[in-house]
Structure 1
Amino acid sequence: MQHQCTRCLLDTEIPGVRITSSGLCSVCTSYDKLWGDWDRIKGKRKEELECALENARSQKKAYDVLVPFSGGKDSSYVLYLCRKVYNLHCLAVTFDNGFLTDHARHNIARACEILDVDHVYYGLSKPALMRLYRDLFLKTGFFCPVCMSGIGVATYRTQAAFDIPLAITGSCFRTEEYVAPEFFLTGETAFLTRTIEDELRQKEALPLLSPVGHVYRMGTFSIKAMLARMAGRKVLPYINMPDYLDWDYDKIYATIIEHLDWQIPDIRAEHGDCKVDHIVHYIRQQKFPAIKPERLRFSKLVTCGRLTREEAQQKIDERSPSADHRPDLEFFLDALSITNKDLENAIADPLRHMKYIRTPNNFTSRLRTIKNDMLRKMRNRPA
């Protein structure tokens, strides 16, 4: 039986969503535990951000901060804030995932020119990259983890190479859509390693699977970072800027369009910097029909108070394609050298990837719970 959250637009048809006795879904409940009343704590969070930025600046390195830069709305706004509002000396790095749009390349070039920011690309040979996408997709029904691993490695290696005190991203669990391992995978090295069995592919994937150290989110307690330090590995800090500031997309769009000559991609695309973003959403909905395009995105904005349920539903209706819409798959099929039949087989079992995911043991789960409780108390403490 389907149950609907009394606050947001999620229901129990979506994997991982549960409705609590209060009527709220598990996503809204987790948000309240982690962030509480954002309006009450955001002043304190902004002070913490400014302290972290000043600490980075005080180290007097060649660059104060590194910004992973896709040319999308969030990373463009982060770069603008770092340069124009906080007057930081920035280096931007882009992982070329083989699917960057012309919009993204324009936005990257123009922002770096306007803001006077140095920029580097990091990437693999395109044929090798496409082979990795292909193998992972045929085996698991997912291909995004290759790109996400690339972003992480590009960020770490660039930060380490240039000895940059802090990396700043535009990602944030506070404002971004709900995800669950049933329908979303990160670029976790251990997962990719378990899926790549061919020796030649392992060699090709080495630049994505062998960072020489570890990253941790500043202001958090990371067991992995602690163990990495004990093993003598380099540990580098990063922060997610939306964790510290209001993240108003109307303001973000207005700012980057006016000041950075930012180009607007397809209004329905959450990630207009990627040529296959619409394919990702199409495949996801084929696996889980309840996850309609834009539903997760706008529902989260209801959870964090940016939209009402009615406003969110209106935006979904405006952007959602018709029920019989099927995107042009030929570009994707050609890029990965697969057939329609390969595609159908890869997504026939929506959970085929789960056998490569290791469930945390009770000890690890308990430590994570303790860590999250500590974070919640720290964030909700008044300024």
Structure 2
Amino acid sequence: MKYQICSRCIYDTNIPNILFDSKGVCSYCAQIEELNEKFPNDERGKEKLNGLISQIKKDGKNKKYDALIGVSGGCDSSYLMHLMTKKYGLRLLAVHFDNTWNSTIATENIHNLTDCLGIDLYTYVVDANEFDDIIVSFLKAGVKDIETPTDIGLATTMNMAAEKYGIKYKIDGHSFRTEGIAPMDWIYMDAKYIKSVHKVHGKLKIKTFPNLWLYKQIKWMIFSRIKSIRPLYYLNYDKENAKKILSEEYGWKWYGGHHLENRTAAFFHSYFFPKRWNIDFRIAGYSAYCRDGRMTREEALSLMEQEPHMEQGLLDYYKKRLNLSDDDFTNLMHLPKKNYTDFKTYKKTFEKLRPFFYLMAKFDLIPWSFYIKYTKPHKYSE
């Protein structure tokens, strides 16, 4: 394909499976437009969110909690805790999956918010050696998706907490308008994938890691009727202003970049993707800002020329924590490159169950983004 850059964002022909229309607008912008129409953030969005909040409060009557919220110490989930408690008056349970790689800033941010807002905190801590073994197995597999275990762990933990406390609503801080859409060839995740990779390359038995098996996912959707709500989809969310509010009211601290509050995520974004795969994940967020009018394409391209923020000493910490010598690490970074299609996954099952997941998404039992991304037939492309 001849080189082309989107006329609206900064995605270009280096992005997997990208297409351009007659106006030069890319297919990822088209996906965002689909979500914009589905989840308007004007008066219609406010009305929709107000209705959801009223229903959440009604269903939470005579219960200790109205809803739970997944927290990481990051900006989006922290601001949402503030907003849902202060403005909308929800009684929240904060839920955190501790992969044992939190930065000090992330831990302080979580406790500052929950303490100041009077929110109970439910934390599930995975065995550190076990989780490290899963990380190393993904590195040995030669795939991109080394952050999959953390994301799956949080998703499962939220459902576990909802079931334990009889909570019917999960709230998370995802915002497609500020985060954009990452190509599936960059990030793929499901429980069977994790098991498949670990079975080949892992050494320890998985005992404490909360994997999101499909039968559990279906049980929580069908029988527990746990709904997935993303309030920021309906709001005109100004992330920079959110940082200011959090800092002034709670002493919240910025950690240098999106997803950098956890050290496995920081390694993934600051080193692994740029160095191992020649991919700078910041392009997704900057493109999202371009689409939403918060940044010009020229500003975004200029920022992309700067090196990704990297915590001082992170690389040494990563090697030491995983017991990797410099030679071990170098060898891992130069293994033959593979992808999720080289391992067993639920992808074909998700595709076969597309009509079922459509209904689940329609009734907020799974995120709409899961439906449009994971249930469509997909051909892997570098």
Shorter-chain TM-score above 0.5: yes
State the secondary structure of the residue aligned to 2:95: strand
Assess if the C-alpha contact under 8 Å between 1:6 and 1:24 holds in 2: yes
Assess if the C-alpha contact under 8 Å between 1:92 and 1:120 holds in 2: yes
Q: Partner residue of 1:49? A: 49
Assess if the C-alpha contact under 8 Å between 1:73 and 1:253 holds in 2: yes
Distance 1:211 1:235, change over 3 A: farther
Q: Partner residue of 2:340? A: 353
Assess if the C-alpha contact under 8 Å between 1:132 and 1:205 holds in 2: no
Q: Partner residue of 1:169? A: 172
Q: Partner residue of 1:155? A: 158
Which of 99, 102, 122 is matched with 1:100 structurally?
102
Q: Which moved more, 1:237-246 or 1:68-77?
A: 237-246
Q: Distance in 2 between matches of 1:178 and 1:368?
A: 23
**Does residue 224 of structure 2 align to residue 234 of structure 1?**
yes
Q: Partner residue of 1:308? A: 296
Assess if the C-alpha contact under 8 Å between 2:173 and 2:230 holds in 1: yes
Q: Distance in 1 between matches of 2:308 and 2:89?
A: 39
State the secondary structure of the residue aligned to 1:22: coil
State the secondary structure of the residue aligned to 1:279: helix
The structural deviation recorded for 1:272 is: 3.3
- Structure 2: tracts of 5 or more residues without a match: 363-367, 370-382
How many residues get paired? 356
Distance 1:25 1:194, change over 3 A: same
State the secondary structure of the residue aligned to 2:159: helix
Q: Distance in 2 between matches of 1:296 and 1:158?
A: 31
**Does residue 234 of structure 2 align to residue 247 of structure 1?**
no
Trace 1:112-261 onto structure 2 (pairs within 5 A).
112-141=114-143, 142-186=145-189, 188-197=190-199, 201-204=204-207, 207-209=210-212, 213-214=216-217, 229=222, 233-261=223-251
Output the TM-score relative to the length of structure 2.
0.82
Identity of aligned residues (%): 22
Q: Which moved more, 1:157-166 or 1:10-19?
A: 10-19
The structural deviation recorded for 1:196 is: 2.9
The structural deviation recorded for 1:243 is: 1.1
Q: Distance in 2 between matches of 1:258 and 1:165?
A: 32
Q: Partner residue of 1:330? A: 316
Partner letter of residue 249 of structure 1? K
**Does residue 276 of structure 2 align to residue 274 of structure 1?**
no
Q: Distance in 2 between matches of 1:302 and 1:336?
A: 38
Tell me how large the CA RMSD over aligned residues is. 3.3
State the secondary structure of the residue aligned to 1:181: coil
Q: Partner residue of 2:65? A: 63
Output the TM-score relative to the length of structure 1.
0.82
What is the CA deviation profile of residues 231-262 of structure 1, one whole-angstrom value per residue up to 9, with x for unaligned ones? xx433111112211112112111111111210
Q: Distance in 2 between matches of 1:98 and 1:362?
A: 31
Q: Distance in 2 between matches of 1:144 and 1:272?
A: 12
State the secondary structure of the residue aligned to 1:306: coil
Q: Partner residue of 1:219? A: none
Partner letter of residue 338 of structure 2? L
